[in-house]
Chains A and B, each alone.
Chain A
Amino acid sequence: MPRLTWQAAELVTSTPETGTARTLRLRVPGWRGHLAGQHVDVRLTAEDGYSTRRSYSLAGPADGEFLDLTVESVPDGEVSPYLTEIMRPGDQVEIRGPVGGWFVWRPGGDRPVLLVAGGSGIVPLMAMVRARRQAGSDTPFRLVYSVRGPDNVYYADELRRPDPGLDVSYLYTRSVPEGVSRPAGRVTQADLAEAGRPAALAPDCYVCGPTGFVETAADLLLALGHAPERIRTERFGPSGG
């Protein structure tokens, strides 16, 4: 693996996921592929030379020279409003990556998998769901997705479609759709006991979301008896935008 350098990336399409999030499909000539769960650093440079960078998770497995990022527009942010509202197909950014070999899932393992997503933390976990489907893997997957309300669900249509061996459950924290009996609220131990997997099965657990969510969910998994070495976490920090 050579040391990484910045590569030019061109926006191909920009697709809304929710009222505030869009998936950007970028074309990066010479992209050497990536693993589900990895992220990239994105660098933007203004005409006067000012430049800044952010990290974003890849939303899908490798697809030739195309890669997908899902970006939540942060109010008053510096970078995300540009990526989601101003950038047009043909415009360019620079990409460095893929990076991160720790928070990744590789098809082929025989261990069941528990994915726990908080809000936009779904993005790298969706890459794992898609990588599993792309590989035709029969590894049992369970996804527990904590989200404010039904309007905030990313990849909603795709997650509704049947995918044998993948179970999805939603924990609504603010607004609950009709027909759902669980009251709105943050993730609890009972949620993870019910919708998760027994610790006795020793699943590989991947937890991703805002720092507070990850902290809580990882503590709950530990309390349920999951071994610390089976829990991998990815926190989205406060320095987004």
Chain B
Amino acid sequence: MTALLRYQADLLLRSQRWLPPVILYAAFLAIGVQSGQPVLDSLGYAAAGLLPVAAWLVRICVTNEPDAARACVAAARGPARAHLACLLTALLASALLGVVTTLVVTLVSDPVSNGHRVHVPPLRAGAAGLLAALVCALLGSAVGALTNRPLLRSPGRAVPAMLLAALLSAVLAGSPAQAAVGGLVTGSQSGRVPVPLLPLAGAALVTAGAFAAACALTSRRSP
């Protein structure tokens, strides 16, 4: 698996297809996050934006290889494991993006609640933001896994489905991402730092299920 992950990560890095989502995400952050704003509010904004980026990175990773090259790798290690390596590479990339973003946002934001009423400890705020970012990275990866190959193969269907699913899972009540981001936003009003462990567990479960389904289907729905 390590060799597969290293191959996929190298492929992602060298393909440079990660640039558009990352640049778009940076622009999204530049618009919404300014230094001196309440830290929890900004972290919630950053985490919510990570969700579609994670889904997009999954799309990049699972479509990065030509079919023939994918077949060579799949023959060596089995199509399910080869596909899992694509999904995990994308998840790790978006988690890394989430960590860096959380760090930067925590550093530039003011450790206060909305209206500068209550002091918010920056370390705890950063930890809460990191958990929320992970929830969104996980859920976005799940969305990407379920709206790309092997389930939806034509881009005409995959891309709209992916964007719609990413939007819905960010705003619909009951979604772990909505719970995590909502926790940060309300925490910013009250000045109490949330610990979104329950959303994290939920997102991990959903993602494990989505990855398992996608991997199990690769050998059934190819090429």
A and B part of one assembly: no
Interface residues of A (CB under 8 A from B): none
